[in-house]
């Protein structure tokens, strides 16, 4: 946990806030994501065809499934300051998908506080640089610069 406070965010800019636990991205998770989104491209869900025809020699997770892991893993790291009532998704400045996540691979998230912008009422826009690492891979699955709107518990 990163033990952040709204007042102390400024001094943490540029520092690593933490590293999540490893999480397995197994075929059932990939299949569920495909079912929820309607993205049933064979490279994700047809295991036998992916073993035969995919350049990755097996099924891989959707890029957007990997991106969807950023929010829960950053929460595990503890990116929401203890004195914030809420942290809401505000946007994504940049995402790059750099390496596949093979079915069954384990990933973890490394979070760096990239910047803050103070707003009215004590609200803060927090920018983090999120690197989703794939166990055994030199390249991360993705790097995403995300924005969260932090709302103070005292209402400002």
Mean per-residue pLDDT over the chain, rounded:
96
Buried b (16+ CB within 10 A) or exposed e, 33-70: bbeeeeeeeebbbebeebeeebeeebbbbbbebbbebb
pLDDT digit string, tens, across residues 76-119:
999 999 999 999 999 999 999 999 999 999 999 999 999 999 99
pLDDT digit string, tens, across residues 99-109:
999 999 999 99
Q: Bigger pLDDT: 62 or 1?
A: 62
| pTM summary value | 0.94
């Amino acid at each position: 946990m990163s033990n952040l406070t709204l007042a102390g965010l400024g001094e943490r800019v540029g520092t690593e806030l933490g590293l999540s636990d490893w999480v397995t991205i197994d075929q059932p998770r990939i299949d569920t994501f495909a079912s929820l989104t309607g993205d049933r491209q064979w490279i994700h869900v047809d295991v036998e065809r992916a073993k035969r025809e995919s350049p990755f020699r097996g099924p891989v997770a959707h890029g957007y499934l990997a991106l969807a892991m950023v929010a829960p893993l950053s929460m595990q790291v503890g990116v929401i300051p203890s004195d914030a009532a809420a942290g809401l998704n505000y946007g994504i400045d940049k995402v790059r998908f750099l390496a596949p996540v093979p079915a069954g691979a384990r990933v973890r998230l490394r979070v760096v506080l990239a910047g803050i912008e103070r707003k009215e009422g004590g609200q803060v826009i927090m920018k983090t640089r999120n690197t989703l690492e794939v166990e055994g891979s030199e390249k991360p699955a993705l790097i995403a610069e995300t924005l969260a709107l932090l709302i103070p518990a005292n209402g400002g």
